[in-house]
Structure 1
Amino acid sequence: MLFSLQRPLDQLRASLLKDFAGQELSVAEIYERHSVDTPYVMKNYKESPTQLETEGKIGVRSLKGTRRKGTFADHLMVRFPASNINGE
């Protein structure tokens, strides 16, 4: 069961990397632009960047200069890399 619950979040992370390639947005902006007609909630949109950052797939910067490790507060900006030719 745990695997089946994790898989949709894998799909969300892949979708975020693809849909926001080359952009920098806050988690709130990501949620507002991406969550319509999806089964995901704000908690999923805060957990997904945490995992992507751990994997080194995104960059994160703080607008306030400070950050509590492992969290995604509203003042954090997520930088998605531009996708490469293969779409990865």
Structure 2
Amino acid sequence: MTQDPTPAPMAALPDPEAFRDWMRCALMVTGRTHTRTGRDLGFGRNTLRDFLGTPGRDLQLGTAAAVTRYLAEAAQAEGLALPPIGGAHG
């Protein structure tokens, strides 16, 4: 049996504003702060603060992936559910 060599379509990546909204929501749900998250991940002290506080500011994909993984793991450890990235947050 041969495998189809066509790669699976990539999931759509959120724009920075949608990721910023999700990150704020995920921080609230998990009870984490941007300061603690950045410190735990070894980021510069202003990396997440500047992203959250500056409209139009962007993050590198690796940084966004690390934040997503960190918050998802925190939520799972506490039995919490995070909304999908780019989904409605309330």
Same fold (TM over 0.5): no
Which protein shows a greater Rg? 2
Q: In proportion to residue count, which structure has more strand?
A: 1
Q: In proportion to residue count, which structure has more helix?
A: 2
